[in-house]
Structure 1
Amino acid sequence: MTKVKFCGLSRQDDIRAANELLPDYIGFVFAPKSKRYVSENIAKELKSYLTPKIQAVGVFVYESVEKVANIANANIIDIIQLHGDEDEEYIKNLRRLTLKPIISALQLKTAADAEKANKIGGDYILLDAGQGEGKAFDWNLLEKVKRPYFLAGGLNEDNIADALMLNPFAVD
């Protein structure tokens, strides 16, 4: 069964709703330029209200390896999501500092991107049209992806049934 992730939670009301709806994952955005940004302290407080069976994902864009590892190792998050173009060396260095699983996000725009998705580091991959733009990409490209993926970007009430027919590991 496809798992569900709600991303961009930043208020206690968001956590209350998540605790009622019980998605598999929720996301805290630690990218300062995002309108959904939360500080480490706010995320820590929100996590304290989160039902333990929901895993918290921390979304980072070009953040230092040390800061990501510190937030992860403080158990503010359960999973790390890298949403920049962090390379294999970055992931290798991060793995030296934390045992938390890593989701590598990739913008899927071409067949070459789909091939890259099969090779990119990380325990999971997240495929998106961009960084929180709310737009869907050409889902036909998913035929070339040979590993489980989080499907993100532009999901709404009009296309979620079609998205689930693609059998993603999770929708975000």
Structure 2
Amino acid sequence: MTVQVKVCGTTSVHDAVLSAEAGADALGFIFAPVSKRLVSPQVARAAGLSVGPSVARVGVFLDQPLDEVLRTAEAARVSAVQLHGRLSSLYVMAVAAYYPVLRVVRPADLATETDMWHGHRGVTLMLDAPEPGGGIPLDWDALRPLFPDGAWLAGGLGPGNVAAAMTALRPAAVDAVSRLEASPGVKDPEAVRAFVQAARLAARSYPQ
């Protein structure tokens, strides 16, 4: 099984190239105004163009109006949209009509959201911590019975713990932010490379 590796919170062309050269499959660009890693659509577009079409470009949003999400996603030329917040299923489906959607859920909502989106090819679940970007890991063992096949995993992941998380839950992809930074919005090259390498190594233990 091929596990995708996403490096989120990209704020510059330099860090986009760094992550792509380290082997990341996807970059996350955060457009939520409350984030310390807020990036403009123009910078995100330039960063995405710098790494080429083989690296997915994910626009990250939090409880923003639908027209703003679609307008920003188009301006940034993202290839997928990641949705955080208390959103209706109609809202998510409206975005999914234009882009593949990563629907971010908290542990308390995982069972309900799994039932809701089971079989919907345009929506993939991503499990994240109650405070995304806070660097606090989840209780992976406790979540094992609920974690759906094909879901992505975020929440406090980094080079030192991604293997344990993958062993516990077997996610289809892993996503990290805060533990890959020298400061908010600025990537630590060694941490990024170590995270990608650790995820690749852990994926080898997945059943073939």
**TM-score with structure 1 length normalisation?**
0.88
Given candidates 151, 162, 167, the residue that maps to 2:170 is 167
| Cα distance in 2 between the residues matched to 1:69 and 1:75 | 10
CA contact (8 A) 1:2 1:164 kept: no
| Cα distance in 2 between the residues matched to 1:152 and 1:47 | 21
| Letter in structure 2 aligned against 1:124 | T
| Cα distance in 1 between the residues matched to 2:87 and 2:149 | 19
**Counterpart for residue 105 of structure 1:** 104
Matched, 1:53 2:64: no
Larger fraction in helix: 2
| Letter in structure 2 aligned against 1:123 | V
Q: For the structure 1 residues 116 and 106, does the alpha-carbon distance in structure 2 shift closer, same or farther, using more than 3 Å as the test?
A: same
Q: For the structure 1 residues 55 and 78, does the alpha-carbon distance in structure 2 shift closer, same or farther, using more than 3 Å as the test?
A: same
Cα displacement (A) at 1:75: 6.0
Aligned runs of 1:2-151 on 2, under 5 Å?
Answer: 2-74=3-75, 76-96=77-97, 98=98, 100-108=99-107, 110=108, 113-121=109-117, 123-129=123-129, 130-139=131-140, 140-151=142-153
- Structure 2 unaligned blocks of 5 or more: 176-208
| Cα distance in 1 between the residues matched to 2:88 and 2:29 | 22
CA contact (8 A) 2:127 2:154 kept: yes
CA contact (8 A) 1:27 1:56 kept: yes
Cα displacement (A) at 1:72: 3.0
Residue identity (%): 33
CA contact (8 A) 2:62 2:84 kept: yes
| Cα distance in 1 between the residues matched to 2:39 and 2:114 | 31
| Cα distance in 1 between the residues matched to 2:24 and 2:161 | 19
Higher RCO (CA < 8 A, seq sep 6+)? 2
Q: CA RMSD in A?
A: 1.7
Cα displacement (A) at 1:149: 1.1
Cα displacement (A) at 1:74: 4.4
CA contact (8 A) 2:95 2:101 kept: no
CA contact (8 A) 2:7 2:28 kept: yes
- Structure 1 unaligned blocks of 5 or more: none
How many pairs are equivalent? 167
| Letter in structure 1 aligned against 2:170 | N
**TM-score with structure 2 length normalisation?**
0.74
Cα displacement (A) at 1:120: 4.0
**Counterpart for residue 189 of structure 2:** none
